[in-house]
Structure 1
């Protein structure tokens, strides 16, 4: 039976910290496509308090989450256990984008492992509903390791390549909603 929680308590925090990945879901206000993105690297997710979480947003093939948050702020973060203990946990809330050139980004830095090249932003989520479900049909999987491919790819990218991504594939969602602005900071501007 699904349970609703009043806050992210110590037990839920422990569950979240044990998961090697999470999923982020957003959608535009009207029509368009629902987006679900898998996220990895354990040091990219942080619990800020009982009702606030955040994650490092790394450059990717698109910017759906950013575009949808700019449109309406709605976001769901889902954690799913692949171990013998079955559980799915969803954090529903309102998200916002914190750019690397904002003072708030600097205040959030200590919560993450910032050795990842290709940091685009921090997504901060004000959580208003916390619910779990059984996950009985989720398969058992053994974690081999974190996949280093995205970090390796970003480490090879030049400022010009990131600048091009900002003005092309990260400029708008697949439905045409605005995402990154042309003045978005390059990852090289973030002190590592």
Structure 2
């Protein structure tokens, strides 16, 4: 039932664009595995071999910490309606922070969203599809607005203070490089 591809096909790109939620998984050689659901308008297909994800301010910063330790990530999309499908993207990443020229270039691909702390570009080495027959039917109602409203109510200084308190280290104590100078 599973099939593997070296790059995204048009049907995969269209499927990604239609999904209101995706899941990001990372792991360092030691410590916890991180698996996070992502939503809002935070994913872009760049080409057949890369996607870009806008990482918004959150209670932790596990993905960035893990990628510094082991530069591999899996992104999973799945259909909650017909036709059933699970799509996984495997690859290595580049992380861009607001201090980086690439961040300033790529952030223009997204709607203005306060609290964007990183952009993560996945260089795809494998695309895998599987049936999704065991995934339940679910109806998408709407994106939550609370995170955007929370960030919008903060000044830039308050966001940086939050990042300093909550986003510099992973729960395993790994650095995230959110403030690192390159």
**TM-score, normalised with respect to structure 1:** 0.89
**Matched residues in 1 for 2:120 and 2:63: separation?**
9
- Residue correspondences, number: 181
Does residue 108 in structure 1 map to residue 119 in structure 2? no
* 1:158 matched residue in structure 2: 155
Deviation at 1:167, TM superposition (A): 1.8
Which of 90, 115, 120 is the matching residue for 1:118?
115
Answering whether residue 28 of structure 2 is matched by residue 28 of structure 1, we say yes
- 2:10 paired with 1:10: yes
Question: Gaps (5+ residues) in structure 1?
Answer: 185-192
Match of 1:190 in 2: none
> Following the alignment from structure 1 to structure 2, what is the Cα–Cα distance between the partners of residues 181 and 142?
36
Q: Which residue of 1 aligns with 2:36?
A: 37
Partner of 1:68: 66
Choose which of 166, 170, 190 in structure 1 pairs with 2:167: 170
Take 2:121 and 2:142, find their aligned partners in 1: how far apart are those partners?
26
Shift in Å at residue 45 of structure 1? 0.6
Counterpart CA distance in 2 for 1:13 and 1:111 is 16
Does the residue aligned with 1:35 lie in a helix, a strand or coil? strand
Q: Please list every run of at least 4 consecutive aligned residues from structure 1 whose deviation after the TM superposition is greater than 6 angstroms.
A: none
Structure 2, unmatched stretches of 5+, are none
User: When the two structures are superposed, what TM-score results if normalisation uses the length of structure 2?
Assistant: 0.94
- Per-residue CA deviation, residues 22-58 of structure 1 (Å, 9 max, x unaligned), is 00000012x20000011101x3111111111111110
How far apart, CA to CA, are the structure 2 residues paired with 1:180 and 1:59? 14
RMSD: 1.4
Q: Could you say what secondary structure the match of 1:168 adopts?
A: helix
Alpha-carbon distance change, 172 to 53 in structure 1, aligned in 2, over 3 angstroms: same
